[in-house]
C-alpha cells in the first residue's frame, strides 16, 4: 500500500466495485462526448463492468487499484485504475504486456498527485509480475492523460486512424 497524508492507494476489492461504477460511467460519458463514433458505449456498460471488475480484483495477473481519502473521517473512493496482462499477437517476440484499461480521478480530487501515485503503484506491481511493457491508450482530446503517462515514462507507440463507413456506427 502506498499513499501520502491526503490519500491512500490500495488494492481494490469486489466490495469497492459499486463505488467505482459511477467513475466508470463518468469515463464512458466523457469518451462518448469526445468521440461518440470511436467510443459507442453500450447502454449496459455498468452491468458489464459490475461483472468484470470483481474478476480483476481476484485475478493475480491484473492490477485493480483504488485511491481513497478520508472525508469527514469517512473513507471515500476518489479514483481507480484497472489493468491486466494481455497476450500479444504471435508475430512479436514480446509475448505479453500490461494494458491499462481505465484510470480515473474524480474532478474534485485532482491536483493532489493521486493520478501519478496510482500509475506508479500499477507500474511497480506489473514490474513485480515480470511484465516488460505497459500500454495504455487515451482519447485524442485527452491531453492531460498523455501528459500524466509521459511523466511516468510512457511514450507514444501508435497513432490510431479511423474511417467511419457511411451508415455504420451511428
pLDDT digits (tens, 9 = 90+) for 106-127: 999 999 999 999 999 999 999 9
Q: Using CA atoms, how far apart are residues 122 and 66, in angstroms rounded to an integer?
A: 11
Residue 50 contacts residue 17 (beta carbons within 8 Å)? yes
Q: Is residue 103 part of a domain?
A: yes
Average of per-residue pLDDT across 15-41: 95
Query: Where residue 168 falls among pLDDT bands split at 50, 70, 90?
Result: low
Q: Is residue 161 part of a domain?
A: no
Average of per-residue pLDDT across 89-115: 96
- The number of folded domains in the chain is 1
Q: Is residue 157 part of a domain?
A: no
Residues in the chain, how many? 170
CB-based contacts of 120, cutoff 8 Å, min separation 6: 2, 152
Using the predicted structure, report yes or no on whether residue 32 has a pLDDT greater than 60.
Answer: yes
3-state helix, strand, coil in the chain (%, to 5): 35, 25, 35
What mean pLDDT is reported for the chain? 93
pLDDT the model gives residue 72: 86
Q: What are the b/e assignments for 107-117, b being 16+ CB within 10 Å?
A: eebeebebbeb
Q: Using CA atoms, how far apart are residues 56 and 158, in angstroms rounded to an integer?
A: 26
Q: Is residue 71 part of a domain?
A: yes
- Take residue 126 and report the three cell numbers written for it: 506489473
Parent domain of 59: 2-151
Q: Is residue 160 part of a domain?
A: no
Q: Is residue 165 part of a domain?
A: no
- Take residue 110 and report the three cell numbers written for it: 485532482
Using the predicted structure, report yes or no on whether residue 60 has a pLDDT greater than 50.
Answer: yes
Alpha helices (runs of H) in 100-153, residue ranges in sequence order: 114-128, 143-151
Q: Using CA atoms, how far apart are residues 26 and 9, in angstroms rounded to an integer?
A: 20
Structure pTM? 0.91
Lowest mean pLDDT among 3-7, 32-36, 69-73, 96-100: 3-7
Q: Is residue 24 part of a domain?
A: yes
CATH of the domain at 25: 3.40.630.30
Q: Is residue 158 part of a domain?
A: no
pLDDT the model gives residue 64: 98
Q: Using CA atoms, how far apart are residues 119 and 70, in angstroms rounded to an integer?
A: 21
Residue recorded with cell 467505482: 20
pLDDT the model gives residue 148: 95
- Take residue 115 and report the three cell numbers written for it: 493520478
Amino acid at each position: 500500500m502506498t499513499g501520502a497524508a491526503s490519500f491512500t492507494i490500495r488494492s481494490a476489492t469486489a466490495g469497492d466495485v459499486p463505488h467505482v461504477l459511477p467513475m466508470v460511467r463518468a469515463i464512458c460519458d466523457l469518451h462518448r462526448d469526445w468521440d461518440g463514433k470511436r467510443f459507442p458505449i453500450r447502454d449496459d456498460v455498468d452491468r458489464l463492468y459490475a461483472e468484470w471488475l470483481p474478476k480483476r480484483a481476484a485475478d493475480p495477473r491484473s492490477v485493480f487499484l483504488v485511491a481513497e481519502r478520508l472525508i469527514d473521517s469517512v473513507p471515500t473512493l476518489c479514483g481507480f485504475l484497472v489493468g491486466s496482462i494481455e497476450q500479444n499477437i504471435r508475430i512479436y517476440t514480446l509475448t505479453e504486456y500490461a494494458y491499462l484499461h481505465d484510470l480515473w480521478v474524480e474532478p474534485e480530487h485532482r491536483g493532489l498527485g493521486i493520478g501519478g501515485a496510482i500509475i506508479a503503484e500499477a507500474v511497480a506491481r506489473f514490474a513485480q509480475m515480470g511484465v516488460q511493457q505497459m500500454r495504455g491508450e487515451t482519447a485524442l482530446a485527452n491531453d492531460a492523460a498523455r501528459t500524466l503517462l509521459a511523466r511516468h515514462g510512457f511514450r507514444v507507440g501508435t497513432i490510431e486512424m479511423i474511417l467511419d463507413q457511411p451508415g455504420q456506427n451511428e
